Amino acid sequence: MKAAVVTDFAQPPHYGEFPEPVAGRDGVVVEVLAAGLHPRVRSQAGGFHYTSTGELPLVPGVDAVVRDPKGQIRYAVLDDTTMGSMAERTVIELGRSVALPDTIDPVVIAAAMNPAMSSWVALRRRIDFGGHQRVLILGATGNAGRMAIQVAKRFGAAEVIAAGRDAAKLAELPALGADRTLTFAELAQAAEVDVVIDYLWGEPTAKAMVDLLTHRSDRGKPLTWIELGAIAGPVAALPAAALRSARLQIVGSGIGAVPGADFVKELPALAEAVAQGAFDVRAQAVPLAQVAEAWASTGASDRIVLVP
């Protein structure tokens, strides 16, 4: 069958032949309708995600909208194996999928679920988010950040402050529900927030943390910092004194920090919300045959979705 195939972690996937998937004990072979090219998939295909086993060749793709053998359309998350979702067919576990109505647009679902799941699961499963808290989103102009604005509002946040580096993209965010937007240079103005949803890490996070903590009027007031992505760097140098001088709690949210079963439990409600059009979703469908060109297109704001 045709698939996106990685034979060398230093090269982008190419469109080529890959052996037909085998169902195995718990799996079922399904037809892939749409698979999102998320940052997580780039790190999988590059061999640098923390779950990478280093095994090649592999088909990348960590989730997909599929049609099962009974004709049911599903959204499925996949294990990290060499048989990912960017292929004509793949293997899923039915227990790690959710059935969807025939009326959904597979491309929209495939684009939205991974970025939306990050903040949805973090606020539902990783921290005690009762709503009425003030939330700052670092990296709010990306797909996950844009979703986080909408998710935090949906869960009752008292205020959502969206921070990013691109002024033109920031200007679009009030339409999604952001109460305020800030550049990274202005983060002292967000010093009173209760929760930070952080997709950046690296140098911007280290600077942001100091800016917030040093400008906080009451340093005894809890601040929960949720680490969700490291798009600006894998390491952040945090000054010890800043941590000691405020009631800061840093937690991560991802597979491992949250049990896989808890992610799966959140799939139906999130998929239903996406299917009902609750979120503004930016998606660009690209034929699977153009996977190499899609990989080269890193600056696009819309989430690329490969369609076999």
Ligand X SMILES: NC(=O)c1ccc[n+]([C@@H]2O[C@H](COP(=O)([O-])OP(=O)(O)OC[C@H]3O[C@@H](n4cnc5c(N)ncnc54)[C@H](OP(=O)(O)O)[C@@H]3O)[C@@H](O)[C@H]2O)c1
Point out which residues bind ligand X (CB under 6 A): 38-40, 114-115, 117-118, 139, 141-145, 164-166, 169, 199-200, 204, 228-232, 253-254
In whole angstroms, the minimum distance from the beta carbon of 153 to ligand X comes to 17
In whole angstroms, the minimum distance from the beta carbon of 10 to ligand X comes to 20
Q: Closest CB to ligand X among 228 and 306?
A: 228
In whole angstroms, the minimum distance from the beta carbon of 299 to ligand X comes to 7
Q: Closest CB to ligand X among 38 and 89?
A: 38
Q: Closest CB to ligand X among 21 and 204?
A: 204
Distance CA 262, CA 274 (A): 19
In whole angstroms, the minimum distance from the beta carbon of 219 to ligand X comes to 26
Q: Closest CB to ligand X among 39 and 308?
A: 39
In whole angstroms, the minimum distance from the beta carbon of 72 to ligand X comes to 26
Q: Closest CB to ligand X among 97 and 143?
A: 143
In whole angstroms, the minimum distance from the beta carbon of 202 to ligand X comes to 7
Q: Closest CB to ligand X among 97 and 141?
A: 141
Q: Beta strand pairing status for 73-77 and 97-100?
A: antiparallel
In whole angstroms, the minimum distance from the beta carbon of 136 to ligand X comes to 14
Ranked by CB distance to ligand X, the top (closest) residue is 142
Q: Closest CB to ligand X among 118 and 224?
A: 118
